[in-house]
């Protein structure tokens, strides 16, 4: 796989509009099985990142559209999906048991063919497997993507969480695709429509940046092409541990914001330097900027040996839809192997905020539903979850509700093909690495003699020593917090003053639950004065060794 596909896979996968100001809550939603994207978006398969410079245009064929209905059942179910399902053992298990529903529908437009092969639906999810044929050169320095894919029933209802992805199949010279939604039919069968808004071809573009990472000032670079007007970068050094680059892109074509995903890439000796930890992409700025945060280890990007570039995606070709398929979806095959169990169990002893309500076991997946009444918003206290089934451990992912019932959170586990589960099989939910939020510290910290000189105050918070560093940079006041004790999880966000006249900071840095990073950077733009009373919304503490075990069934 070439650099284009690898880059875009990661970008389209991360294209989540962050729920500002709480990055941790947002990332919990992204963590759903490791690949969830926003509704209607898609991403391509992962692979090595190899630089590719020889872009070739695609000759546009005469426009035509045709639907083919009669594809052999065997071919639909037994299609070679390559590595597409490597992390979806439950889907592989259902296919191996011949539980897939053959679809065999094809639409061709402008020389591009989209084919639906197989559907799987049970009480937990609906999956559609498809292929995209763009010609034998589809994987050669190009990336094709399907946008706006959604599944609706007759009344027009769809899932709250939908995503699709595809990866280039070098052997068969086509893309293999996977669509999933949390919507399932209320009855055994339902008439549905799967539609895609458009299919697009992208290329990867680069712009050289003369970036000075030793300067703390924001540096702006004109672009003026492909809908991108300018790009700015502000470096922050976290000692010798991390170099944080806060970026902002301004577009003169608003449509380009939907696919450009501008970010920095760093090269040392011609080799791409990997980010040192997870950042964040796509938080909107006050004036519509596309902002991001990226991290590097300073030792990996020495000033005299590192070249920085702006990397973004350009739309080369667009084939508008709708691409629409109508068919009847059936979960009859799955129903006989589905076990529903009503539960009323605390997630941990003494915890009244989080109770396990239900477990649903299907041929593809195990779903454990937990109702969380935690404040200020629903979330589970543990970062990692696994399911012990008859002595075997399955790793799970959190699915936060996108529906009106915000209290309901699901932990989902892919089911291996060789794992037998009955109503008597011993099953235990295991949670580890506890993170607790605290909103009890309402005492303000007095910042005095505010100037361009960095000043540090040590204040105890929750029994942990926390360093508060503040300074002016230009017209803006920066406030940084950190602790040398890793059990302190960090300060979420700060504000100056209280009541309706309070001034809320903007979060510059990112941190995620359980990542070991407790450093935060807030900024107050256009700050006036030399003193301030600063408050925190809340802080968190970490217990990496804390574990809870809940027996769900069996002895």
380-411 pLDDT, tens digit per residue, is 999 999 999 988 999 999 988 777 788 999 99
Q: What is the largest CA-CA distance in the chain?
A: 78
Cβ distance 401 to 160 under 8 Å? yes
> pTM higher than 0.75 for the full model?
yes
Residue 317, token pair as written in the block = 């070709």
Residue range 67-202+319-330, CATH number: 2.60.40.1630
pLDDT in tens, 152-205: 998 888 888 899 999 998 888 899 999 999 999 988 899 999 999 999 999 999
Averages of pLDDT over runs of 10 residues in the chain (555 residues) are 40 34 36 32 34 26 28 46 88 90 95 96 94 81 89 86 90 92 90 95 94 94 96 90 94 92 95 91 85 94 95 94 94 87 95 94 95 87 95 91 84 92 95 94 94 95 95 95 95 92 91 89 95 95 96 89
- Asked: is 338-433+546-553 a CATH 1.10.357 domain? The reply is no
How many helices (H) and strands (E) are present in the chain, helices listed first?
A: 5, 36
Residue ranges per structural domain of the chain: 67-202+319-330, 205-315, 338-433+546-553, 445-537
Closest CA relative to residue 420, chosen from 392, 399, 460, 440 = 392
Whether 313 and 203 have beta carbons less than 8 Å apart is answered as yes
Rounded alpha-carbon distances, angstroms, from residue 93 to 97, 163, 248: 6, 21, 44
> Residue 170's pLDDT is what?
87
- Provide CATH code, domain 205-315: 2.60.40
Q: Are the folds of 205-315 and 338-433+546-553 the same?
A: yes
Q: Which two tokens stand for residue 137?
A: 């050169």
């Amino acid at each position: 796989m070439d650099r284009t596909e690898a880059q875009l896979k990661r970008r389209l996968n991360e294209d989540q509009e962050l729920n500002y100001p709480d990055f941790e809550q947002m990332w919990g939603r992204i963590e759903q099985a490791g690949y969830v994207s926003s509704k209607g978006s898609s991403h391509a398969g992962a692979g090595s990142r190899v630089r590719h410079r020889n872009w070739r245009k695609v000759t546009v064929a005469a426009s035509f559209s045709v639907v083919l209905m009669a594809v052999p059942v065997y071919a639909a179910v037994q299609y070679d999906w390559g590595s597409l399902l490597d992390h979806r053992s439950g889907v592989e298990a259902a296919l191996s048991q011949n539980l897939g529903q053959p679809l065999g529908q094809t639409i061709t437009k402008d020389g591009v063919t989209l084919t639906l092969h197989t559907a799987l639906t049970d009480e937990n999810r609906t999956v559609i497997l498809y292929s995209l044929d763009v010609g034998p050169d589809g994987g050669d320095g190009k990336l094709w993507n399907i946008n706006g894919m959604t599944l609706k029933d007759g009344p027009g209802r769809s899932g709250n969480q939908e995503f699709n992805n595809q990866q280039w199949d070098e052997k068969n010279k086509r893309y293999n695709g996977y669509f999933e939604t949390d919507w399932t039919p209320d009855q055994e069968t339902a008439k549905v429509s799967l539609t895609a808004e458009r299919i697009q071809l992208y290329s990867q573009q680069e712009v050289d940046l003369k970036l000075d990472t030793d300067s703390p000032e924001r540096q702006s670079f004109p672009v003026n092409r492909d809908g991108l007007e300018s790009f700015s970068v502000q470096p922050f050094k976290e000692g010798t541990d991390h170099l944080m680059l806060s970026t902002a892109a301004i577009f003169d074509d608003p449509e380009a914001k939907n696919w450009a995903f501008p970010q920095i890439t760093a090269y040392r000796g011609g080799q791409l330097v990997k980010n040192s930890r997870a950042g964040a992409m796509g938080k909107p700025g006050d004036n519509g900027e596309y902002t991001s945060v990226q991290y590097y280890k300073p030792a990996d990007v020495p000033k005299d040996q590192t070249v920085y570039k702006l990397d973004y995606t350009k739309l080369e070709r667009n084939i508008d839809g709708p691409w629409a398929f109508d068919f009847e979806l059936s979960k009859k095959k799955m129903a006989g192997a589905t076990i529903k169990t009503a539960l009323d169990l605390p997630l941990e002893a003494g915890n009244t905020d989080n109770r396990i309500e239900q477990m649903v076991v299907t041929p593809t997946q195990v779903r454990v539903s937990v109702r969380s009444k935690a404040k200020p918003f629903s979330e589970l206290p543990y970062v990692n979850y696994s399911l012990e089934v008859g002595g075997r451990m399955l790793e799970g992912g959190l699915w936060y509700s996108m529906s009106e019932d915000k209290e309901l959170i699901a932990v989902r586990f892919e089911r291996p093909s060789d794992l037998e589960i009955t109503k008597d099989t011993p099953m235990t939910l295991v949670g580890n690495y506890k993170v607790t939020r605290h909103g009890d510290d309402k005492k303000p910290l007095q910042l005095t003699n505010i100037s361009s000189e960095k000043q540090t105050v040590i204040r105890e918070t929750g029994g942990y020593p926390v360093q508060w560093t503040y300074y002016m940079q230009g017209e803006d006041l920066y406030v940084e917090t950190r602790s040398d004790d890793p059990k302190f999880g960090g300060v979420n966000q700060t504000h100056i003053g209280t009541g309706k006249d309070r001034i809320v900071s903007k979060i510059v840095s990112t941190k995620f639950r359980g990542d070991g990073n407790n450093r935060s950077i807030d900024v107050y733009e256009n700050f006036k004065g030399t003193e301030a009373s600063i408050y925190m919304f809340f802080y968190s503490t970490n217990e990496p060794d804390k574990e809870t075990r809940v027996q769900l069934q069996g002895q």
